[in-house]
Structure 1
Amino acid sequence: MATTNDSFNGMTEHCENCELDTLHEVSVQIRTESLKKENAQFSREPYRVRECQRCGDRSSQRMNNA
């Protein structure tokens, strides 16, 4: 589970690469999933993106699975 801490701009989360709870930078990105130009405006989805500040491992997870 993610927790906030007193550090600058980050969350403490478990890093699979480090095998430790480390500081992560977490953001939300809107990504276009369709490769077809005419459908691109209807295929935008939010993704939660996190990056370990210790090892640089980056992962993303789709937030809307409707």
Structure 2
Amino acid sequence: MATTDDSFNGLTEYCDECELDTLHEVSVQIRTESTKKENAQFSREPYRVSECQRCGHRTSQRMNNA
């Protein structure tokens, strides 16, 4: 589970690579999932992206699986 800390821009989360709770930069990105041009406007989905500030390991997770 992510927790806020006293850092300027980040969250403390468990990192699978470091095997520790480390500072992570977290953002939300809108990604287009369709490769077809005519459907691209309907296939945008939000993803939560988390990057470990210690080792650089990055994970992303689709936010809505409707």
Identify the TM-score tier after normalising by the shorter chain. over 0.9
Structure 2 unaligned spans of 5+: none
Structure 1 unaligned spans of 5+: none
Q: Distance in 1 between matches of 2:37 and 2:64?
A: 22
Once the 2 structures are TM-superposed, how far is the Cα of residue 8 of structure 1 from its aligned partner?
Answer: 1.2
Aligned residues: 66
The two structures, once aligned, show a CA RMSD in angstroms of 0.3
TM-score after normalising by structure 1:
0.99
- Output aligned runs, 1:49-60, within 5 Å: 49-60=49-60
TM-score after normalising by structure 2:
0.99
For residue 46 of structure 2, give the secondary structure of its aligned residue in structure 1.
strand
